[in-house]
Amino acid sequence: MQNGEVMSPQDSKALGDENQGCTEPTAPPLPPPSPPSAGPPEYPRPRLIFHTQLAHGSPTGRIHGFTNVKELYAKIAEVFNISPSEILFCTLNSHKVDMQKLLGGQIGLEDFIFAHVRGETKEVEVTKTEDALGLTITDNGAGYAFIKRIKEGSTIDRLKAVCVGDHIEAINDQSIVGCRHYEVAKMLKEQPRDLPFTLRLVEPKKAFDMIGMRTKAPKSNEGKLVNGRETLRLRSKGAATVQEVQSEFEEQATSKVDDLLESYMGIRDLELATTIVEAGKDKKNPDDFAEALDSVLGDFAFPDVFLFDVWGAIGDVKNGRI
């Protein structure tokens, strides 16, 4: 057919006959849909909302969306329009400076959070008359070390200006903000005997007549998982998780390990003790335990004698000897 010629109906039909039997290419058929997975469907957990107040007195605020202690402090600070650095530590279900109520790595889903903020600063001169000062250090997980316990009759006990809950801000004008509790305990232990040194302390803000302004917690359970057997586990690395409260074995073993931390290192830290128990509860021998502990807490460089005592304590609790 030449250019410009028009195809007749007969030509068109003939061309169509020649193309009969040719089919357009098509995509391969899709695989059949996968069968639904077995088991109940997964539903997203409701948003966890916690209620909070400043321990010296404030209205009640609501916070959510935090995964570690630093984020928790930031959320509290945002609610009350203060700087996160103002918060020394938090207690659960009590506005008092009660170290038994101290917030560690876990928060019960029904717990009420009280934030203790910076109060007055004071300087105290200390002279070691014996190797141990008689205080136990912990930290808030956000760079502040503070006094958790004072041994009766000790050097520190005789200094009435020093109180449980005081944040240790500096030793001999050297700031220790950002140091972990075990580092602060080591610095204090290394202070020479019979040579005075200075502690700069910050005490939690006291309530005075503001106690009467405290408001009651709301009774609403909005946004919570109402289950007394669950807690929110805060982690220094990774996301927070909701998990069951500790078993009786885990609780007893954690308490014993916390006692050993105080005995060997001069610190108390339930979150650290919990991590140690989790590393050791399923191990068959102390070598496996030491290797597991080193993989998660290598920075601590625990002495061998401490590890053996911890392994023994976990075994004693597991076998009912405690």
Q: How confident is the model at residue 114 (pLDDT cuts 50, 70, 90)?
A: very high
Q: How far apart are CA 104 and CA 97, in angstroms?
A: 14
pLDDT of residue 86: 96
> Helices 270-280 and 286-297 meet at what angle, rounded to 10?
130
Question: pLDDT for 46-69, tens place per residue?
Answer: 478 999 999 999 999 999 988 888
Ramachandran sector of residue 118 (left: φ over 0; alpha: ψ -120 to 50; beta: rest): beta
Q: How many Cβ atoms sit within 10 Å of the Cβ of residue 17? A: 9
Looking at residue 11, its pLDDT comes to 47
- Contact between 279 and 293 (Cβ < 8 Å): yes
Contact 87, 72 (CB under 8 A): no
Summarize pLDDT for 249-298 with one digit per residue, the tens.
Answer: 888 888 898 888 888 888 888 888 888 888 888 888 888 888 888 887 76
